[in-house]
Each structure stands twice: as structure tokens, then as C-alpha cells.
């Protein structure tokens, strides 16, 4: 990425400059917002880069400006290029990239809602994170107090696009669902059974997590990171800790890196196994779901044995992991892994033996690879539609650089192949855990505690079981944070559901939705 950055500096003389970078894997440069679209176009077309995420920061009190950050990567290069564009408080607007890059649609609108910076030229500038009847506030500005009491919410509720045409009807689903999931509103337009289009609305339980990070000491903020999405607690916690460790130049002991790798893969296994069973349930194959439920129980029981938590909470910490493993725990891991591998083989054989299940899943919920790429889809949904991305391979962390593994990628883009990606990944995860456990070294399981220097910025990236998780931090005095940006993969992937359900029937929506299995909580952070 350094060569790419130098090329940009040469092509935009005097309009871009390098900023101080503490890590060889993070290159920071500043540019004028007027050049943003041209620079982005150059990165995408001439250098084959991908825009990973867009976010903002309020530095008005310190530097007299807001900043937008644009994080780019490209295949085969472990470094990220992070472009910073200053935005004057007197003219709080920036050029939108959403017309050419639909994947930043929600992210730019979040910046509008949270910081009051206008995305000029955005094709759909309506509120997204704050609903229509919120008062005119911008919660991530520094002058917005955490405990500020808002006036009663008034005004229009969200208006959905009207259905037009003879025999065309709206079918609303949610926002409250008949289950324990969090709220989300799905508004279908149907002609008979076929779905013409879907409009969705999230952010019903926006929790202000990024604001909360600014009011916690870092050692407590780890637990907040784990709460962002409950089934990805270890992934989010690890991404946060990695950002802090990179900012503070903390060297994580190799034993801790290997242990983190094993726990990350256990989190992948128990969620993928559960999803395979849930997909089977949604097409009426309840026997397969019962088998999957038994396997999941074995893995989460193992999690509790290793960490004290079935969902791996309270284990990761800045500098490593909070507790070491005894010989007996390692033996339990080896034994359970063998039983899970055998049981998973039986589950896969059971699912694949059912012609009726295959008939329901094949060609259902098709997401074209071109649409997946345009929308910036990541994780399972992306890999089933030809998007060959995986941070474990492309930006190695923990002990992934010491392991050989295959990233499964298909172009069929249907429910069947989203399930197949999960099957392949579970098998790879079992092999990776075995290899890591065989080479688990002696040594400390965490680095000594130390103060975190103020004023440092860093990225933490983890390939969670849903996809790419990103935490970006700016540290503050007193072992606190000035800013923590979170991006859960679900923020990228909800628009994929809109595309995948078109031309399917209402009865297939549950299984299509489950095949993506996106996080309401991770979105509503």
C-alpha cells in the first residue's frame, strides 16, 4: 500500500500528504474533500483497492474540524491505507460516494445522523440510524452529553414506498417478531406469492455503544466490546483488544495468540453448526436441527470448560487472555473436537441425503456475484457469491499466519451454497484448532499490564464468523478512549437480503434470511 500511496502523492501533488503512522500495516494520509471522489476512483480502478469502511470523528474542540476516514485495502497487501478528509464546522458537508459505491450507503447516512455532516449528492439521504421522529440531535458530537435527556419524540413515522399496481399488496413483518430476536421491520411488496421488492428498517434499539466507549476506562471497555453482538463476543472483544494493542505497541505473547485463534474458531464452529440446523428447520427438516443442536451444545459446553462462559465472554483482555489452560482442559478440547468432527460428518450426510431439502435450498435466495461485490458484502454471504475476502488470510492476526487453511468461495450465491460455505468453514476450523493445539507453546498467556499512551490511533480487524469486524480507536489520557468506531459485518450485509429475496416467494423468506443470519444488535450498536 505504500507504493499505492506514493503514486497518489505523485498524481495529486500538494493536495495529499502523509500523516504519522505507528504501524507498517496502517498508512495514514490526508486529502481535501474536493479530491475525494477522484482519489477513490483512482484507488478502485487503477490499483484494485476496496473501500472497507467510512466513519467520522469530532475533533472540533481540539483541531477545529471534523474528520472523515476512508479505509482501503487490496488483495495480497497486508497494509491498510486510511485517508483522512477534514470537514469545516462552518460547512459541515462532504461529497457522497454512494452513487458509485452502494456499499457505503448506510455508513454515510450514519455519519449524517450521528455527526450532522451532510453527504452531498447521496441518492437517498433519509435518516437511517436515527429514526424519522427523533429530535434534531447528533449523538456522537462531543457537545452531546451522554446523559442528555431528549424531548418527547414527535413527527412523522417512517413512510415506506407505496405499492402500486393491480393485485400488488404490502406484507409487513415486524418490527416485533415472534421470537427472542431483536426488532427489525421487513416490508414486502408482493403480487400473489412472488416478492417484487423488500424494504427494511433497522436501528430500532440503537444503543449508543460508540458514545459509551468514550466514558469508560479501557479495561472496562473490553466488556462493552463483547456485548456488541452476543454470538460474536470473542470476535468483537479481540478486535477491540487488537486495536488497543497496536496503538500502545503491546506485544501479545505467542501462547496467547494461539489461544485466541482456537477460541475464535470455536466461536465460528458453534455458530455455523447452529445455522445449518436452523436452515434445516426452516424447510421442515427438524431431525437435522435436533442433531445440530446437540453438536452446538457440545461446543458451548467446551467453551465453558475453557473460559467459564458458554459464549466465550470475559476471556479476552488487552495483552492476551485472562486465564491459562490446564493439561486437563487441553485434553477435554482434543476429545470434544474429535466427537464434534464425527457428529458433524453425520449431520452433513443427513442434510445432503435429503432431496427435498436440496430442492428447497438450491437456487433459492440467489445473490448475483456482481451485486454482492457492488454492495460490499463480506463473510459467508459474500463468499457464497464469489467475494474472495477473509481477514485471517489477507491481514493475518493472532496465530493465523502460522496456519494453513482454505477459504471456501463459490459463485452460485443461493441458500444451498451459503450453507456449503458454513460446512466447509467448520471443517477447516476443526483442522486449524488441531494444528494450533499441537503447537501450543509454553509461556505467558498475557502481556504485563501497562498504561495506554494518549493520542494514538489504530485498527483492529477480525474475521468473525459472520465476516469482517472492525474497531478503530483513538486513545485519550488516563487509559481512556477519545473515539471507538465499530463496524459489524451485518451493516454491510443487510442490503444483500433485499436483493436476494426478489422473485422468491414469501414462504422462502425465513430460510433466505437465516442463510445470511445477520445481527440486529451488531447493526444497532
Question: What is this structure's pTM?
Answer: 0.95
Per the DSSP assignment, residues forming a β-bridge with 461 are 470
| Residues found in the chain | 525
The residue whose grid cell reads 485517508 is 83
pLDDT-derived band of residue 10, with 50, 70 and 90 as boundaries?
Answer: confident
pLDDT-derived band of residue 467, with 50, 70 and 90 as boundaries?
Answer: very high
Which phi and psi angles does 311 have, rounded to 5°? -105, 20
DSSP assignment of 227-279 equals TSSGGGHHHHHHHHHHHHHHHHT----HHHHHHHHHHHHHHHHHHHHHHHHHH
Residues 6 or more apart in contact with residue 66 via CB below 8 angstroms = 56, 57, 58, 59, 60, 86, 87, 88, 89, 92, 115, 117
Contact 232, 469 (CB under 8 A): yes
Contact 382, 367 (CB under 8 A): no
Peptide bond preceding 175 in cis form (omega within 30 of 0): yes
CA distance 39 to 29: 12
Q: Which range (71-75, 149-153, 237-241) has the least confidence?
A: 149-153
CA distance 52 to 101: 11
**Tens digits of residue pLDDT in 171-199:** 888 888 877 778 889 999 998 889 999 99
Contact 418, 384 (CB under 8 A): yes
Per the DSSP assignment, residues forming a β-bridge with 172 are 187
Residue 67: strand, helix, or coil: strand
Q: What is the dihedral of CA 185, 516, 379, 419, to 10 degrees?
A: 180
**Tens digits of residue pLDDT in 441-450:** 999 999 999 9
CA 323 vs CA 265, 315, 316, 444: distances in Å: 18, 7, 9, 10
Average pLDDT over residues 371-398: 95
Residue 159 pLDDT > 90: no
**Tens digits of residue pLDDT in 91-119:** 999 999 999 999 999 999 999 999 999 99
Residue 407 pLDDT > 90: yes
Write down the mean pLDDT value for the chain. 93
Structure confidence at residue 514 (pLDDT): 93
CA distance 227 to 200: 24
pLDDT-derived band of residue 308, with 50, 70 and 90 as boundaries?
Answer: very high
Q: Which range (34-48, 243-257, 327-341, 418-432) has the least confidence?
A: 34-48
Contact 454, 186 (CB under 8 A): no
Residues 6 or more apart in contact with residue 138 via CB below 8 angstroms = 113, 114, 115, 116, 144
Q: Which range (141-150, 276-285, 424-433) has the least confidence?
A: 141-150
Please, is 201 exposed, middle or buried when counting C-beta atoms within 10 Å of its C-beta (0-12, 13-18, 19+)?
middle
Query: What is the number of other CB atoms lying within 10 angstroms of the CB of residue 93?
Result: 15
The 8-class DSSP code of residue 443 comes to S
Task: HSE, CB side, 13 Å, CA atoms: give it for residue 163.
Answer: 17
Render the burial of 116-126: b for 16+ CB within 10 Å, e for the rest. bbbbeebeeee
The domains found in the chain, sorted by start residue, are: 2-120 (3.30.460.80), 168-201 (no CATH), 209-523 (1.10.645.10)
pLDDT-derived band of residue 135, with 50, 70 and 90 as boundaries?
Answer: confident
3-state helix vs strand vs coil in the chain, percent to 5? 45, 20, 40
Amino acid at each position: 500500500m505504500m507504493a499505492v500511496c506514493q503514486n497518489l502523492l505523485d498524481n495529486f501533488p500538494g493536495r495529499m500528504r502523509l500523516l504519522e503512522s505507528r504501524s507498517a500495516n496502517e498508512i495514514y494520509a490526508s486529502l481535501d474533500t474536493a479530491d475525494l471522489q477522484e482519489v477513490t476512483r483512482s484507488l478502485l480502478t487503477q490499483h484494485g483497492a476496496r473501500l472497507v469502511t467510512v466513519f467520522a470523528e469530532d475533533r472540533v474542540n481540539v483541531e477545529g474540524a471534523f474528520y472523515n476516514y476512508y479505509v482501503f485495502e487490496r488483495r495480497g497487501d497486508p497494509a491498510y491505507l486510511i485517508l483522512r478528509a477534514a470537514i469545516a464546522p462552518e460547512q459541515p458537508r462532504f461529497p457522497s460516494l454512494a452513487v458509485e459505491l452502494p456499499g457505503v450507503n448506510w455508513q454515510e447516512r450514519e455519519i449524517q445522523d450521528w455527526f450532522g455532516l451532510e453527504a452531498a449528492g447521496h441518492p437517498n439521504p433519509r435518516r437511517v440510524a436515527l429514526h424519522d421522529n427523533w429530535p434534531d440531535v447528533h449523538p456522537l458530537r462531543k457537545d452531546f452529553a451522554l446523559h442528555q435527556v431528549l424531548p418527547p419524540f414527535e413527527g412523522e413515522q417512517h413512510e415506506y414506498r407505496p405499492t402500486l399496481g393491480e393485485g400488488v399488496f404490502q406484507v409487513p413483518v415486524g418490527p416485533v417478531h415472534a421470537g427472542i430476536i431483536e426488532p427489525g421491520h421487513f416490508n414486502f411488496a408482493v403480487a400473489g406469492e412472488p416478492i417484487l421488492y423488500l424494504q427494511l428498517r433497522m436501528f430500532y434499539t440503537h444503543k449508543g455503544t460508540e458514545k459509551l466507549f468514550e466514558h469508560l476506562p479501557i479495561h472496562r471497555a473490553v466488556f462493552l466490546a463483547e456485548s456488541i453482538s452476543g454470538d460474536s463476543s470473542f470476535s468483537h472483544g479481540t478486535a477491540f483488544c487488537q486495536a488497543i494493542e497496536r496503538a500502545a505497541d503491546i506485544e501479545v505473547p505467542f501462547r496467547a495468540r494461539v489461544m485466541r485463534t482456537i477460541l475464535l474458531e470455536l466461536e465460528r464452529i458453534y455458530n455455523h453448526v447452529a445455522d445449518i440446523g436452523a436452515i434445516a428447520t426452516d424447510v421442515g427438516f427438524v431431525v437435522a436441527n435436533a442433531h445440530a443442536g446437540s453438536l452446538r451444545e457440545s461446543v458451548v459446553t467446551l467453551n465453558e470448560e475453557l473460559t467459564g462462559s458458554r459464549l466465550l465472554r470475559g476471556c479476552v483482555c488487552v495483552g492476551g487472555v485472562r486465564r491459562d489452560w490446564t493439561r486437563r482442559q487441553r485434553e477435554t478440547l482434543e476429545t470434544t473436537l474429535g466427537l464434534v468432527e464425527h457428529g458433524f460428518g453425520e449431520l452433513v450426510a443427513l442434510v445432503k441425503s435429503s432431496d427435498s431439502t436440496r430442492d428447497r435450498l438450491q437456487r433459492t435466495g440467489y445473490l448475483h456475484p456482481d451485486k454482492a461485490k457492488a454492495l460490499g458484502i463480506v463473510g459467508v454471504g459474500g463468499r457464497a457469491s464469489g467475494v474472495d475476502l477473509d481477514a485471517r488470510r489477507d491481514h493475518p492476526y493472532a496465530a493465523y499466519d502460522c496456519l494453513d487453511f482454505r477459504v471456501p468461495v463459490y459463485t452460485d450465491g443461493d441458500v444451498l451454497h451459503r450453507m456449503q460455505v458454513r460446512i466447509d468453514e467448520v471443517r477447516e476450523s476443526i483442522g486449524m484448532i488441531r494444528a494450533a493445539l499441537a503447537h501450543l507453546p509454553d509461556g505467558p498467556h498475557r502481556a504485563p499490564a501497562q498504561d495506554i499512551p494518549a493520542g494514538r490511533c489504530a485498527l483492529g480487524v477480525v474475521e468473525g464468523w459472520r465476516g469482517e469486524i472492525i474497531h478503530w480507536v483513538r486513545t485519550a489520557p488516563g487509559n481512556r478512549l477519545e473515539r471507538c468506531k465499530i463496524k459489524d459485518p451485518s451493516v454491510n450485509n443487510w442490503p444483500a437480503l433485499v436483493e436476494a429475496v426478489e422473485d422468491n416467494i414469501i414462504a422462502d423468506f425465513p430460510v433466505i434470511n437465516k442463510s445470511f443470519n445477520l445481527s440486529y444488535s451488531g447493526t444497532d450498536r
